[in-house]
Amino acid sequence: MKDKEPFTLSHFQSVYFIGIGGIGMSALARYLNAKGWKVGGYDKTASQLTQQLESEGMFVHYEDDIGNVPTTFLNAEDTLIVYTPAIPVEMNELVYFREHAFKVVKRSELLGLITMHSKALGVAGTHGKTTTSTMLAHVLNQSSHSCDAFLGGISSNFQSNLLIKEGAKYTVVEADEFDRSFLNLHPYASIITSIDPDHLDIYNDPKTFHEGFQSYADLTHSDGFLVIKDGLPIHSNVRTLRYGINCPEAEYSAPHTRFIEGEFSMDIKAGDRFIAHVILGIPGLHNAENALAVWAMCEQLGLTEEEIRNGLSSFRGVKRRFEYIFKSERIVFIDDYAHHPTEINALLQAVREMYPDKPITGIFQPHLFTRTRDFFDGFVDALDKLDKLILLPIYAAREKPITEINSEALFEAIQHTEKYLMTPMEAIEASEHIEGILLTIGAGDIDRIVEPIKNRLT
């Protein structure tokens, strides 16, 4: 079967994932394993996620060698190969499967196929889609409605990136713009949180990036609807609702937010209705905006006010999204996935709001050479807002180095912050002497130093 031919899952007995330890890939692997397929795959390094997959009966190996792949996955007639675009095209196993006539598809194609036969609720946006989609899945799951969910993070409520409910009417998915993956989905309704340019190595320029989101919005089912942050230049023929903090012209607005004695809440204005004191389980103005989008979507789906209130107040967030790791009188340690200047600014705004009198130290790992190049000045401005910065080397992921784009150049451009250029091991050692607020920030493998830092602090 050739790559671009139509396919159905029923044709295959086995599914092999290249990059199985990725957050999105592992959710798909777990779903198919639960549904009865034989599932296995490769990943570059072992992790907590891959160990979880193995404990659930899936085969995982860590060396790019087709000789290590069990014969179960070597029959081109009954094995589907799924890969993530983060995998280099010259990767040995990927080359082998393509040369030996296996059906090879991207992760997004498989996700699109799985969600085709339910009402898919997509969450798209440069920022906020993981928290918003996980929040949406939690609120639906706590209500009289239920859902399946494929998430880009580990929910702190149900400790998984996958939710399976028998007979669920809806499927919540992250609509990922990277590599135009979201164009493989079939959304009944969507939330679009932001369209700040990113992934310019794929889209080349902001105009093309915005066109990608417009193309995604155009996929919305004719009976469905869109919930779009007020001010975004997205237009559609389907029913569209706008939302935003202090946006009186939008259908859903939050004119008041407050953080009092550890409780974060907001008031909502929805048309002529005023909904007072909606308590949120996680802090931050950006999360209030995410919750406002979830409120709008859930209300349109028929949930009651009580159901939505209960879901939002009991939501505990997502691993690596403003995740509290350790607290003491001397230090508060928070881990966050922020990897774009806008996300770093939102993180620091939330921390300053909660801890106005404490100094903030950030350990930041830039993610990708191209992103560092494309948003260099934005990173400089955002990181300058820290009281102290520990800057790690750039996490390259799928990329090759770019001349003169490195952490040293970023370090030299930052003027005002007390700053240090360190290796991850040096950052772990330095953490013992930090007081106030400590943030680990980034989307690469910075999460590997979180536990060692916690151990030092305790």
What pLDDT, in 10s, does the model give residues 241-253?
Answer: 999 999 999 999 9
Residue 275 lies in a domain: yes
**How far apart, in Å, are the Cα atoms of 234 and each of 213, 215, 227, 237, 293?**
8, 9, 10, 11, 16
Residue 367: CATH number of its domain: 3.90.190.20
Residue 122 lies in a domain: yes
Q: Are residues 133 and 99 in the same domain?
A: no
Confirm if 427 and 449 have CB atoms less than 8 A apart: yes
Q: Which pLDDT does position 181 carry in this prediction?
A: 85
What is the spatial distance between Cα 136 and Cα 308, in angstroms, rounded to a whole number? 10
What's the domain range around 292?
118-314
What is the spatial distance between Cα 58 and Cα 164, in angstroms, rounded to a whole number? 18
What is the spatial distance between Cα 98 and Cα 117, in angstroms, rounded to a whole number? 28
Q: How far is CA 15 from the centre of its chain?
A: 24
Q: What is the pLDDT of residues 369-414, one digit of tens each?
A: 999 999 999 999 999 999 999 999 999 887 889 999 999 999 999 9
How large is the average pLDDT for residues 55-73? 95
Q: Are residues 176 and 283 in the same domain?
A: yes
Say if residue 35's pLDDT is above 80: yes
Q: How far is CA 119 from the centre of its chain?
A: 21
How large is the average pLDDT for residues 199-225? 90
Confirm if 308 and 339 have CB atoms less than 8 A apart: no
Q: Are residues 284 and 330 in the same domain?
A: no
Q: Which pLDDT does position 237 carry in this prediction?
A: 93
DSSP three-state, residue 250 = coil
Residue 111 lies in a domain: no
Say if residue 42's pLDDT is above 80: yes
pLDDT band with cut points at 50, 70 and 90 for residue 261 = confident
% of the chain surpassing 70 pLDDT: 99
Q: Which pLDDT does position 437 carry in this prediction?
A: 97
More confident call, 245 vs 86: 245
pTM: 0.82
Q: What is the pLDDT of residues 280-315, one digit of tens each?
A: 998 888 899 999 999 999 999 999 999 999 999 999
Q: Are residues 302 and 233 in the same domain?
A: yes
Q: Are residues 83 and 220 in the same domain?
A: no
What is the spatial distance between Cα 398 and Cα 144, in angstroms, rounded to a whole number? 43
Q: Which pLDDT does position 4 carry in this prediction?
A: 56
Residue 25: CATH number of its domain: 3.40.50.720
Domains: count for the chain: 3
pLDDT band with cut points at 50, 70 and 90 for residue 1 = very low
How large is the average pLDDT for residues 325-336? 94
Nearest to 191 by CA among 127, 148, 145: 127
What is the spatial distance between Cα 227 and Cα 297, in angstroms, rounded to a whole number? 7
Q: Which pLDDT does position 118 carry in this prediction?
A: 86
Provide the phi-psi class of 284: left if phi over 0, else alpha when psi is between -120 and 50, else beta: left
What is the spatial distance between Cα 21 and Cα 447, in angstroms, rounded to a whole number? 14
Residue 110 lies in a domain: no
Residue 113 lies in a domain: no
Task: Tell me the pLDDT of the chain averaged across its residues.
Answer: 92
What is the spatial distance between Cα 168 and Cα 152, in angstroms, rounded to a whole number? 20
Q: Are residues 339 and 443 in the same domain?
A: yes
Q: Are residues 142 and 40 in the same domain?
A: no
Q: Are residues 367 and 411 in the same domain?
A: yes
> Which H or E run contains 16?
strand 14-18
Q: Are residues 160 and 282 in the same domain?
A: yes
Residue 112 lies in a domain: no
φ, ψ of residue 105 to 5 degrees: the values are -135, 155
